[in-house]
């Protein structure tokens, strides 16, 4: 079998290739490889990147998302954002790489400002795509982000997660935000203001209010409720 291999074109080509490189120094070898084999090197590099991408996608699909959140137009310390994600992960699935908590950030800018118009458009499309794909559970927004979110009617009626007594108590404190159901006079609770929580005070630097809302397509309302409860009790992370 070895003799058969030695008669192949590949074997003779490999021998010639090694003989050509042997008398050269490293600089000459690199120049030689770049001159005659850069196309093959590029193809090998692309094939490697494709394999890495495929493995990454496969691994991510194998992971189970416990809850997925997004911050929109929220000014927050990096430590505070990491704390919100990592603390929750450690509480409900410590050391588990296959059951994960997701928390992303995006910025709408100002859709009325031409400088930020394109940025706002793409950020809004990401939000809507994640809602339609059932890949988003809860959202923290500023007033501008909330107004856009509410206008798209992708919200969840909070009565599906909170009791009437809980919403009444929060409403008495002026924390529940309602929208009018189209074609009716019914008010639908869609967001809770969380500006006065210690976690927001310590980590978010906002001139206006911070709104907590739920995605209309969430399949994990109980987890969203759990996130809201934790936000009420979280304290300043240690610096």
Domain chopping of the chain, boundaries:
2-59, 66-233
- What are the angstrom distances between the C-alpha of 65 and each of 97, 99, 104, 222? 10, 6, 13, 14
Tell me, what DSSP letter sits at residue 204? B
Tell me, what DSSP letter sits at residue 20? H
Q: Which residues pair with 77 in a beta bridge?
A: none
| DSSP labels, 100-150 | EEEEEEE----TTSHHHHHHHHHHHHHHHHHHHTT---EEEE-HHHHHHHH
pLDDT tens digit string along 174-233? 999 999 877 778 899 999 999 999 888 888 887 889 999 999 999 999 999 999 998 888
Owner of token pair 């194998």: 62
d(CA 213, CA 221): 11
Q: In the predicted model, what is the mean pLDDT of residues 113-122?
A: 63
In 3D space, the residue among 66, 70, 182 whose CA is nearest the CA of residue 123 turns out to be 70
Whether 161 has a pLDDT exceeding 90, the answer reads yes
Q: In the predicted model, what is the mean pLDDT of residues 84-105?
A: 83
Residue 73: partners with Cβ closer than 8 Å, 6 or more residues away:
107, 108, 141, 142, 144, 145
Rg (CA), the chain: 27
- What are the angstrom distances between the C-alpha of 143 and each of 43, 82, 101, 134? 49, 23, 25, 24
pLDDT for 167 equals: 95
Residue 5 pLDDT class (50, 70, 90 cuts):
very low
CA 110, distance to chain mean position in Å, is 21
Owner of token pair 């008669």: 7
Whether 100 has a pLDDT exceeding 80, the answer reads yes
Q: In the predicted model, what is the mean pLDDT of residues 59-77?
A: 80
| Sign of the alpha-carbon torsion through 28, 30, 31, 37 | positive
pLDDT for 83 equals: 80
For the ranges 59-68, 81-90, 97-106, 197-206, which has the lowest average pLDDT? Answer: 59-68
Crossing angle between the packed helical segments 221-233 and 78-92, to the nearest 10 degrees: 120
Crossing angle between the packed helical segments 26-62 and 9-21, to the nearest 10 degrees: 130
Whether 115 has a pLDDT exceeding 80, the answer reads no
CATH number at 66-233: 3.40.190.10
Phi, psi angles (nearest 5°) of residue 113:
-100, 120
């Amino acid at each position: 079998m070895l003799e058969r291999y030695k008669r192949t074109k590949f074997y003779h080509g490999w021998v010639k290739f090694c003989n050509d490189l042997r008398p050269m120094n490293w600089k000459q070898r690199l120049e030689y490889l770049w001159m005659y084999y850069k196309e093959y090197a590029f193809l090998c590099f692309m094939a490697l990147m494709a394999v890495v991408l495929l493995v990454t996608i496969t691994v991510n699909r194998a992971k189970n998302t416990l809850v997925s959140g997004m911050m929109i137009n929220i000014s927050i310390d990096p430590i505070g954002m990491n704390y919100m994600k990592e603390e929750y992960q450690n509480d409900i699935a410590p050391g588990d790489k296959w059951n994960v908590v997701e928390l992303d950030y995006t910025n709408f800018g100002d859709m009325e400002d031409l400088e930020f118009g394109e940025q706002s458009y793409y950020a809004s499309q990401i939000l809507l795509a994640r809602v339609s794909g059932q890949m988003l559970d809860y959202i923290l927004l500023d007033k501008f982000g909330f107004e856009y979110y509410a206008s798209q009617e992708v919200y969840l009626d909070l009565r599906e997660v909170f009791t009437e007594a809980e919403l009444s108590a929060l409403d008495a404190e002026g924390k529940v935000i309602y929208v009018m159901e189209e074609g009716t006079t019914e008010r639908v609770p869609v967001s809770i203001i969380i500006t006065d929580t210690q976690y927001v005070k310590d980590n978010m630097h906002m001139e206006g209010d911070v709104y907590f809302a739920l995605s209309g397509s969430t399949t994990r309302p109980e987890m969203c409720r759990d996130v809201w409860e934790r936000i009420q009790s979280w304290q300043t992370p240690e610096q």
